[in-house]
Structure 1
Amino acid sequence: MALIAILPGDGIGPEVTAQARRVLEALDLGLSFEEAPVGGAAYHAMGHPLPETTLDLAKRADAILFGAVGDPTCDALERQFRPEQAILGLRKALGFWANLRPATMMPGMEDASTLRPEIAAKIDMVIVRELVGDVYFGEKGRRQTEDGRRQGYDVMSYAEDEVRRIAVVGFEMARRRRKSLISVDKANVLETSQLWRDVVNEVAADYDDVALQHMYVDNAAMQMVRNPGQFDVVITGNLFGDILSDQASMCVGSIGMLPSASLRDWSGDNGLYEPIHGSAPDIAGQGKANPCAAILSAAMLLRHSLDNEAAAQRIEAAVAKALSGGIRTPDMGGSHTTSQMGDAVLAAL
C-alpha cells in the first residue's frame, strides 16, 4: 500500500489539498494518507516551518502532496523560521532537483486567457526547472561598501553536472512529446548561463532526434505571449523557471490551473507534487480557491511516482470535463466554490 504524505501548509493550501485527496480516494487505489503541518502553520504549532516529524514523514512516504506555504504573520521572523524555508528545506533534504511544470490549454478554457483564443488554444508545453541551484541556494548576505552603503548580494552558480542532469530530463521528455526542446538562459551577459549553454550543447549530441533551440530569457518571456504554441519542452534555471512558469500559468488563464512535480530522478521515486500558486492568504477560508492545480498535481503524482498512467489520465479528463461543463471558480471569472469544483471533478470521474 503506497503512503501519500499530505502537507497542506498555509492559506488556501488545506482547502485545495483536501479536494485533491477526495479525488485520489475516489479512485480506490488502496492508497494510505498521513498528514503533517508545514510552513507557517507548523511554525505556530511547533516552532519550526519544517519540523523533524514532518520531514520524517516526507522521507517515509512514496509521494508527497503539498499545498502552499506563506503566512504574513511570519514576515518579521528570521529567515530560517519563515514558512518558505519549509519547501526549500524539503527540496534540499530529499534532493528534489528537477521541477516539471506543464501548461496546457484545456478545450473551452480559451476565454479565460488574456491572449486571443486562437493563440491561447495552441498552448501545450512543459517547463523543466532546475530546483536546487542558482541564486536561491547560492551564497547570500548583506555587507557594507567602502563608502558606507548597505549592499545585498546573491550568488548565481551552476556546476556542469547540475546542468547536465536537468538537460537529460528535458531531452528525455522532449523525446516523448513533440521532439522539440528550448533551453532558456542569459548567456549574452551571464557566465553561469554560458556554461549552461555549453553543457546543454554537449548533451544534445546524444539526442539527435530532438531539435534544440537556445533562447535568451527576455526573448522567451516575449515569445510566450506572442506565440506560445512554439514551445514544447523548456529547460531553464531556478530563477528563470520560477518566473516563466508563472507567466505560462496566466497564458492558460489562471495560476490556479498549473500543477507541478519535483523529482530527484527520472523515475519519480518519492516525488513532491504541488500547485504552483502560493498560499493566497487574502482569500483563505472563503471557498474561492481553485483546486484544479492541486487535483492535477495528484494526477502527476500517480503518473510519476506510482507509475499509474491510466489513473492520471482519468483525473485530467475529469478536470477537463468539469471545466467544459461551465464550472468556474472566481479566478476564472466564475462564482463556483472550491468544494463545488471538487464535486464537479468527482462527478466527472
Structure 2
Amino acid sequence: MSRPHIVDVIAGDGIGLEVVPAALRCVDALAEQFGFAVTWRDRDWGSERYRRTGAMMPEDGLARLADGDAILLGAVGAPDIPDDVTLWGLLLPIRRAFLQYVNLRPVRSLPGVPGPLSDGSGIDLVIVRENVEGEYSEIGGRIYRGRPEEAAVQETVFTRRGVDRVARFAARLAASRRGGLTSATKSNGIVHTMPFWDEVVAGAVERINHSGPETPIRLRKVLVDALAADLVLRPREHDVIVASNLLGDILSDLASAVVGGIGTAPSANLNPEREHPSMFEPVHGSAPDIAGTGIANPTGQIWATSLMLDHLGESTAAAALLAALEAALASGVRTRDLGGTAGTDEFTSTVLDHLTTTTEELSDA
C-alpha cells in the first residue's frame, strides 16, 4: 500500500456538518475495498469559529493546509454573518493561495432525479470556470460612505496567462470528450475585457488543434445571455463550456437547475499542475433552514468526493462511488428535496449498500 492520502476536512457550517460525514463513510468503505488509505485532518473552521475568534480560520490556516493532498469542504455561510465575510474569510483565500484556477463543474442527468424539463435525460456537459481572477478581483473600493455621492468601484482583471491556462485546460478536456468547446462571452457590450477573453481563448484552442489532438476541438463563442437560454432549450448540444469567474458561476448554477437542482451538483477547485492541494465541494450552500434535521441531500458532497478520489489517482474507486450513487438514485431512494422521503443517513446507507455491487462489477470488467 502506498502512503496515505492526506485530506483536510472542513465541514464548515449548516448541512456541511451532516453531508461531509456521509461522504467520509463512503471513502472509508472504498479504502478498505480498494486497498488505499486516507488520513483525515479535521479542521473545525467556519462561522462558529468566527463567532468565537473573529476569524473563519486561524491566521496560519493556509500554511496548515499546504502539505495536504486535497481539501474536502462542506458548506460555508450563516444568516447572522455577512456572506462576503464568510466567503472571503475561508473559501476564496484557499482558492487563490493554492492557485486553484480551474473550477470544474460537471452537469449530467442523474437517474431518478426530476428536473424542470419535460425530458431531462441525456444531458452531459462540463463547465470550466476561471476561478481566481476576472470579475472577482479584490481591486476596488468605496468612497464617501453614507453620503449621497457615495460610490463603489470593482475592477475586473483578466490576464493573458490566466485566460490562456483555463482555456487550455478546457480545450484539452473537450478533446478527451466529444470535441465541442463553447466560450461564454459578452464582447458585444463589454468593450475591453471580453474581446481580450475571446482572443486569448481562440489562440489557445488554435495551438492545441495544431498539435493534433485525437479529437479536434470545435470552438464557438456565444454571448452569455444567448448561452443561458440555450442551456435551457438545447442542453444536450453542449459538451464543455469555458467561462470567466462570474459568468461561469451563474451558468453552472443554471445548468445544475436544468438537471434537478444545485443540491446534486459537485464542484472541484483544481490546481492542475498539482503544485498545491486542490479543493472539492458541493455547489449548494449551508441551508440553515434544514440544518440539524437529518434531511440534507448528500448527493453533491458524495459526487464531489468522487471527483477528489479521481484527482488523487484512485480512479477505480471514484468510478465505483459515482456508480453506487447513481444506483441508489435509480432504486428510488431520494431525499425530500428530490421528491423522496429518505433522510441523509438512509440515503448514504443505500449508497454504501450499492458500493459492494458496483465494486464487484468493476473488478469483473
Q: TM-score range by the shorter chain?
A: over 0.9
Cα distance in 1 for partners of 2:59, 2:7 equals 17
Distance 1:283 1:235, change over 3 A: same
1:244 pairs, out of 244, 248, 251, with 251
1:92 pairs, out of 96, 106, 131, with 96
* Coordinate RMSD, CA, aligned: 1.8
For 1:297-336, list aligned pairs within 5 A.
Answer: 297-304=304-311, 306-336=312-342
1:228 pairs, out of 227, 235, 258, with 235
Moved more, 29-38 or 311-320: 29-38
Q: Which residue of 2 aligns with 1:211?
A: 218
**8 Å Cα contact 1:114-1:253 kept in structure 2:** yes
Please report how far the alpha carbon of residue 234 of structure 1 lies from its aligned counterpart in structure 2 after TM superposition.
0.6
Please report how far the alpha carbon of residue 75 of structure 1 lies from its aligned counterpart in structure 2 after TM superposition.
2.5
Please report how far the alpha carbon of residue 267 of structure 1 lies from its aligned counterpart in structure 2 after TM superposition.
5.1
Q: Which residue of 2 aligns with 1:55?
A: 62
For 1:56-205, list aligned pairs within 5 A.
Answer: 56-75=63-82, 81-109=85-113, 112-117=114-119, 120-144=120-144, 148-190=148-190, 191-205=192-206
Cα distance in 1 for partners of 2:43, 2:60 equals 8
Percent identity of paired positions between Structure 1 and Structure 2: 36
**8 Å Cα contact 2:55-2:89 kept in structure 1:** no
Cα distance in 1 for partners of 2:330, 2:193 equals 44
Cα distance in 2 for partners of 1:224, 1:230 equals 9
For 1:277-316, list aligned pairs within 5 A.
Answer: 277-304=284-311, 306-316=312-322
Cα distance in 2 for partners of 1:75, 1:237 equals 24
2:10 pairs, out of 7, 27, 33, with 7
Cα distance in 1 for partners of 2:273, 2:125 equals 18
Aligned-partner residue type, residue 319 of structure 2: Q
Q: Which residue of 1 aligns with 2:277?
A: 270
Q: Which residue of 1 aligns with 2:28?
A: 25
**8 Å Cα contact 1:67-1:275 kept in structure 2:** yes
**8 Å Cα contact 1:43-1:83 kept in structure 2:** no
Structure 2 regions of 5+ residues with no counterpart?
210-215, 356-365
**8 Å Cα contact 2:19-2:74 kept in structure 1:** yes
Cα distance in 1 for partners of 2:273, 2:259 equals 26
Aligned-partner residue type, residue 330 of structure 2: S
Q: Which runs of 4+ in 1 moved over 6 A?
A: none
1:60 partner SS: coil
Aligned-partner residue type, residue 328 of structure 1: R
Under a length normalisation based on structure 1, what TM-score does the superposition of the two structures give? 0.93
Please report how far the alpha carbon of residue 107 of structure 1 lies from its aligned counterpart in structure 2 after TM superposition.
2.9
Cα distance in 2 for partners of 1:74, 1:250 equals 27
Aligned-partner residue type, residue 72 of structure 1: P
Under a length normalisation based on structure 2, what TM-score does the superposition of the two structures give? 0.89
Aligned-partner residue type, residue 197 of structure 2: W
Please report how far the alpha carbon of residue 257 of structure 1 lies from its aligned counterpart in structure 2 after TM superposition.
0.9
2:277 partner SS: coil
Cα distance in 2 for partners of 1:166, 1:25 equals 33
Aligned-partner residue type, residue 198 of structure 1: E
Structure 1 regions of 5+ residues with no counterpart?
none
Aligned-partner residue type, residue 310 of structure 1: T
2:202 partner SS: helix
**8 Å Cα contact 2:76-2:86 kept in structure 1:** no
Cα distance in 1 for partners of 2:42, 2:201 equals 39
Aligned length: 340
Moved more, 130-139 or 284-293: 130-139
Please report how far the alpha carbon of residue 53 of structure 1 lies from its aligned counterpart in structure 2 after TM superposition.
5.0
